[in-house]
Structure 1
């Protein structure tokens, strides 16, 4: 049972934008539309690229590992720069940073669409996707700051909830929009961002009043050294995780990269605990409920960010479906996610985070376990029966959706003595770093088991283990048509016999990924048990005691 007692706080938080006068409802609605267009552009992009991975891969002649790096570059760049961008938005002004981020995201999209198909394709695409990630990192804290600054105090919670609900729901448009654009060219999935960016920039310029820096006097600088250390530490950790299975875990470069990551994290911790205005206030993490909510977000992101990629490839390759049918297939996951998100928010408002995490863990683990069982059943004669798979996707999506929004809200509520730009940056850093970590871990896991099953199925036809690994890496994010091109020299009758084995092999590899996601979901349960029953959350200058 939870009761809440609200009282005035003696030392208010440094609430961002508190000095800005509220504006009328009509103008604020137009501002919100501009912000939603800009932020939704980044959410849609994350799913549209996953769905279109095969077209990008074949268009640029990339391997499965290459396309995974293209997906990961965006999240890793965003995670590494979010700490900077949270402080930068507080320091330079939200409107200025929002415009800069939208422009940079648009330029990154343009560069992605113009990447030529040559030996530099992968490097240029990774660079362009990183630009998009940095632009996204600039936009999000600034958008939160603008909304909070210009909303009346009694309207802030409702405006924020509406903003998060709409931008989150826009993620569902990615698969549908991608399936339509991919009929013309894979480059259009990036070019579509250009008119959206122009619309957002026009609305932000015309509607949002001129802002001013909101950081308190005496903190008018950015901790560049600390931000650089933590950003490089994250990169140094992700690279060996993704490359370890390829070059070998005992390779000196892998060991050195892990060592460098550890050293950089220690340097960051030491540095930021000894400077006046650190890039991340480490004392924020002295609040156990805040820490648990952030860890829950990290675990959820490890699952949620990569799931779109694996479901896309599963539909295209294992089920041999069209891009359009695959996009509709993915919507089952989002259906469960969105419906459950509303229920999770209601439970959180009534009873706090503890029961939310417990229920989310049980539902998600059940859903992903069922997905693992049904996805890997292609070799048992069930390739066309996806009813149970669809239902299990709804359950899995419901588990993640149940806790996704509450964990962010709880983290922000409990961050003491930090601006909302800083707290949003920390939350989004965990989210994007989790997504990059998930792709780095689960991508090689899928490719490894895919190659093992290819060798097991085709070894009798003379396909060696190394050849099976090469096949898995080449077609690991492609369609059945792309897979057939790997056996073009074989007679048609032989290809007809091999392709079902290839589809079943990828289905088996995917089932291992879904099982791993189910195991990760179980981590929500110990986090729920560790979550304190009694605590104090501080939000917008008010103290709320939970029992």
Structure 2
């Protein structure tokens, strides 16, 4: 058996270092703020980008997906590099890569080069974020002692998670000036992050271990292929050989990666961490929670705009109900972790989340934004209770306090779950919307064939799963569509109910995984826990 990794290179602080801890936490929050905002900000500016640069609909989809693909492919590498090179160094490198890529995205030239330019530099943005986020999380973990880590990371996840909701609001405001500003806004944020990182005086030392290049390539290609299959399932279809070729091929490579890592002296990921029952439970709860958390941004926003006739900015405000519960509960979850361990927070959070999403689903067809806020807040509270405790407890159990490596694992799990959730829920939404709209149009006198053709266009238009536009239909079909739009909005709300009930089911599965957590608190940075009852 391999010896555990040596202690993390950034030592835990002694008493009296609270100012350094605060500065370090602020620096890491500014650094990751860019990565969270950029996950949602581009979607708001997409119509302006397409119009000015004359991009195809599929090209714009790749502009969005290239960022998420790079995130999925390189999270594990970013976490491992944080251990080998030092978390502070990797934060700085990731921030610089991210902000330079942002500037270049904003400087995209018009013409035939525009689409390729944007896709390439969105991908390098994703690479910078994949380097940056695990390293930033590792810095916070290393700077705060284990007995205060839950509260610190609750603040980290609470604020950084809430920034995802800021993306659409900020995007709408900046796009009114120029869509290029959505990328340029990262420059002052990055400069503040780098300045605070320097002021925090974080120490790093290189770890004398080689990088597992073959393992990094296997997981990057495996994650990239499988996530690509999930991303393209909407446009390629679940019956497409390309979809299943990517998904199955990626999963096969990930299986090869796991087998390979168990035989390497210095692996990219030390698989022994999965021998810890609590770590496995934490990872499973994170996976099922992220099936709901990240996809919610898309589906709730589209629901608000289609069924509630909200503007993009109003749709972003709709999400603030969710984040009100999320932000409050995340702080509570951190305190529970520090006092009693992760298990109580995971159990309570998954139950609240499942109930919140189920009740929220039941209210969607009432088409009232303000009547839904208690259920949105309850769902947010459930996710908030889970996110920080599960992530922190998993990191606390890392072998030899190898924080960067384990943060890379947890972020990979989260990103992969988000991709699966978007693909599965998107397929459900498209099919149910098409069926509901077909029934509505047939009741207004259209033939089965004509109704299905128009309904398919409606479903693809409102879910973003294809290039067909509702306005392409003409004659009697167009007239019927104008007459039945109120009914179609209700049809779309009913289709979204299936999605939200699916999110409730995901949280229910997360609860079953939480029951498998052995309980107890981690009382040292060696990854060992006491097993006292909670």
TM exceeding 0.5 = yes
Number of residues paired by the alignment? 524
- The 1-side partners of 2:148 and 2:518 are apart by 30
Q: Is this contact kept in 2: 1:22–1:152, CA < 8 A? A: no
Go from structure 1 to structure 2 and tell me whether the alpha carbon gap of 1:147 and 1:371 turns closer, same or farther (over 3 Å shift): closer
Q: Does 1:397 align with 2:389?
A: no
Q: Is this contact kept in 1: 2:9–2:204, CA < 8 A? A: no
Corresponding residue for 1:265?
254
Go from structure 1 to structure 2 and tell me whether the alpha carbon gap of 1:303 and 1:256 turns closer, same or farther (over 3 Å shift): same
- The 2-side partners of 1:55 and 1:125 are apart by 14
1:282-361 equivalence runs, <5 A? 282-361=271-350
Corresponding residue for 2:429?
446
Higher mean Cα deviation, 44-53 or 323-332? 44-53
Corresponding residue for 1:253?
242
- The 1-side partners of 2:343 and 2:24 are apart by 35
- The 2-side partners of 1:274 and 1:12 are apart by 16
- The 1-side partners of 2:476 and 2:108 are apart by 33
- The 2-side partners of 1:189 and 1:465 are apart by 38
2:35 to 28, 36, 42: 42
How far did residue 254 of structure 1 move? 3.3
SS at match of 2:529: strand
More relative contact order in 1 or in 2 (CA 8 Å, sep 6+)?
1
Q: Is this contact kept in 2: 1:272–1:280, CA < 8 A? A: yes
Higher mean Cα deviation, 448-457 or 395-404? 448-457
Q: Is this contact kept in 2: 1:54–1:477, CA < 8 A? A: no
Q: Is this contact kept in 2: 1:94–1:211, CA < 8 A? A: no
Q: Is this contact kept in 1: 2:322–2:377, CA < 8 A? A: yes
Structure 1 portions without partners, runs of 5+: 1-9
Corresponding residue for 2:177?
184
1:540 to 503, 525, 529: 525
1:315-354 Cα deviation digits (max 9, x unpaired) = 2222111222222111001011112222333333343333
Corresponding residue for 2:495?
509
2:68 to 40, 63, 75: 75
Q: Is this contact kept in 2: 1:23–1:150, CA < 8 A? A: no
Corresponding residue for 2:215?
226
Go from structure 1 to structure 2 and tell me whether the alpha carbon gap of 1:68 and 1:370 turns closer, same or farther (over 3 Å shift): farther
Corresponding residue for 1:3?
none
SS at match of 2:400: coil
How far did residue 157 of structure 1 move? 6.4
Corresponding residue for 2:83?
90
How far did residue 102 of structure 1 move? 0.9
- The 1-side partners of 2:303 and 2:50 are apart by 15
Go from structure 1 to structure 2 and tell me whether the alpha carbon gap of 1:121 and 1:431 turns closer, same or farther (over 3 Å shift): farther
How far did residue 257 of structure 1 move? 2.7
How far did residue 160 of structure 1 move? 4.8
Corresponding residue for 1:104?
97
TM-score (norm 1): 0.84
Corresponding residue for 2:483?
497
How far did residue 97 of structure 1 move? 1.9
Q: Does 1:213 align with 2:198?
A: no
- The 2-side partners of 1:531 and 1:225 are apart by 33
Go from structure 1 to structure 2 and tell me whether the alpha carbon gap of 1:361 and 1:56 turns closer, same or farther (over 3 Å shift): farther
SS at match of 2:302: helix
How far did residue 126 of structure 1 move? 4.1
How far did residue 121 of structure 1 move? 6.3
